[in-house]
Amino acid sequence: MAQRTLIQFFHWYFPEGTLWDDAARAAEGLARMGVTDVWLPPAYKGASGTQSVGYDTYDLFDLGEFDQKGTVPTKYGTRAALEAACAALREHGLRVIHDVVFDHKMGADETERVQVRRTNPDNRTEIEDEAFDATTYTRFTFPGRAGAHSRFVWDHKCFSGVDRIEDPGEDGVFRLVNQYGDGEWNEEVDEELGNFDFLMGADVEFRNRAVYEELKFWGRWLAEQVPVDGFRLDAAKHIPAWFFRDWVGHCRESISPDLFVVAEYWQPDLAALQTYLDRVDHQLTLFDAALVHRFCDAARAGADYDLRTIFDGTLVQSLPDHAVTLVANHDTQPLQALEAPVEDWFKPLAYALILLREGGVPCLFHPDLYGATYADTGGDGETHEVTLAPVACLDRLTQARQRFAHGAQTDLFDSPTCIGFIRHGTAEAPGCVVILSNAGEATLTAELGPDHAGATFVDWLGHAQGECVADDEGRLPVRCAGGSVSVWVRQDAA
């Protein structure tokens, strides 16, 4: 199969009820473009029903099949529509990547009387010694499912903490008193806020052996219901690394050894990512958060940004085999907590840098391919409308990845405002020369060698008019417009 190219086929504000059908309809076009893997949103029932994006996990075993939380379908459609979408993707040779949200559960069916200890929200290692009685939303019985697929009932012993108690009524971070961890949080999590085990809702206690086995069972069960070619693991900063090390290994043994797994460990610090990869035995890939922020900074700075430094401190530069590179996702899009939008003019440059270079698995974002318009209420209480325009050349760049991004790579990083690189091609597949500028019109010379002497090259993207011709020694002068990118390929290959 062609080199891997992933698309996140959703965004935070996706319209209700259409996504599974949209994915089925898009399958043929995505495959023709050169996409190989489709990352779908969480397919199971969330606490907010049809309003749930999927990250407020309620019932992992309800794929839009049972009347729970006021609805049978999820926000994205019914189980039957999900099955049809997965079948259509597979029919066109596309691999199906499922979003997994294990960190927490929300929307409990019943409350319980338990003991808790207050925790300092700003330093989770500071937990009060004195425990007190409180009522928590920690019992999940899933009455709408009535024991179908799994009879497991979640109660307070399945959770390590909560962010809301009643009697007394209080919001905060509360450590549940139970037999797990001797009253402390899980280890092998991110060190932000002292210990980042707790995120939200009812925080899952992975040290509970019954929970551990239930989540392994769910992985096997899902693969029996729909095609599963891989997983995107949500909130990995908050889940002990040992759990995902075990869970991913178990799924590879029981489902397929070729499962593709990417974890969302949204951390720009390279040392933290290296530590995490060591803890999970390098079994998975991680999103390159640092590169997203480089793109955001470069777009804002324009010609003042030194393009030669754009990969400094990034995961793809240091550990390319474990990097998933991206320009935007549902957490960084406008109005979201991790908002880091890349300005429109720079997006073609950024996508060229992830799609056409060696190293990393590039991930497209749905609005960058199809566009999006949505509204939401911001922190100021006002409703804000956002329109995201599609990146006009993204389909051509994605095609170029499969057609021309082959062979060894030579960087042409000599100017702070104009950089490029050569993909030299192979005996079986052609290469390309990429040039981009964050200032004015720019040129550079690519040393291609005598095999390309006298060859004529054209810009695959059509941004630069005319042709470029290599001289008798295979030196090719290429150009691009200001604030633009061009991909030069041999005319006889295009």
Q: Is 264 a catalytic residue?
A: yes
What's the token pair of residue 110?
């019943």
Q: Which of 475, 486, 342, 466 is nearest to 419 (CA)?
A: 486
Please provide residue 253's backbone torsions phi and psi, each rounded to the nearest 5 degrees: -70, -40
Task: Catalytic residue, from 234, 331, 368, 459: name it.
Answer: 234
How many CB atoms are closer than 10 A to CB 113? 11
CA distance 201 to 41: 20
Torsion angle, alpha carbons of 346, 348, 352, 354, to 10? 70
Q: Mind giving me the DSSP string for 227-292?
A: --SEEEETTGGGS-HHHHHHHHHHHHHHT-TT-EEEE------HHHHHHHHHHTTT-SEEE-HHHH
Task: Catalytic residue, from 56, 99, 163, 264: name it.
Answer: 264
Extended beta strands in 82-205, E state: 95-100, 104-105, 110-120, 123-127, 132-139, 159-165, 170-176, 202-204
**Which residues have C-beta within 8 Å of that of residue 419, sequence separation ≥ 6?**
307, 308, 310, 411, 412, 413, 435, 436
Instruction: Evaluate whether 44 touches 60 at the Cβ level (below 8 Å).
Output: yes
H-helix or E-strand spanning residue 183: none
Cis check: omega of the bond before 168, within 30 degrees of 0: yes
Residues serving a catalytic function are 234, 264
